[in-house]
Amino acid sequence: MALNFRWTPALVVVVLALGVGACSVHKTETRGDGPEPRPGTVEQMNPFLHFLESRPTPAEFGRVYPDVMLVLPGDIVTQEYRTDHSRFFADLDDENRIRGGEFR
């Protein structure tokens, strides 16, 4: 049985192009007042963590992630168990900007 290697270089190029495209760095869409709003719960952690690195205010957080409940220090909330990243407990710095936190 003879193998036909005529198309092998083209196949390798296509596979490499698809692989590199799938591994590209996340590009955040921005507009004049910051990143585009991302409705729904947080499903991709890398863009979310990059957003937190910008130390957003609670108002900026609410604009970009309108469907995620932001719980600030001192807020009273129920303790139900959530697994969908829909409630973020924020840690604030001295300027009342979000510097980190966790989903609960």
Q: What is the pLDDT of residue 102?
A: 95
Q: Side chain identity at 21, as an amino acid letter? A: G
Residue 37: strand, helix, or coil: coil
Residue 81 located in a structural domain? yes
Residue 5 located in a structural domain? no
Q: What percent of the chain has pLDDT over 70?
A: 68
Q: Tens of pLDDT along 63-87?
A: 999 999 999 999 999 988 888 999 9
Q: What's the CA gap between 11 and 17, in Å, rounded?
A: 10
Strands of 87-92's sheet in order across:
69-71, 87-92, 98-103
Q: pTM value?
A: 0.67
Q: What's the CA gap between 104 and 38, in Å, rounded?
A: 19
Residue 75 located in a structural domain? yes
Residue 68 located in a structural domain? yes
Structural domain range at position 92: 33-103
Domain count along the chain: 1
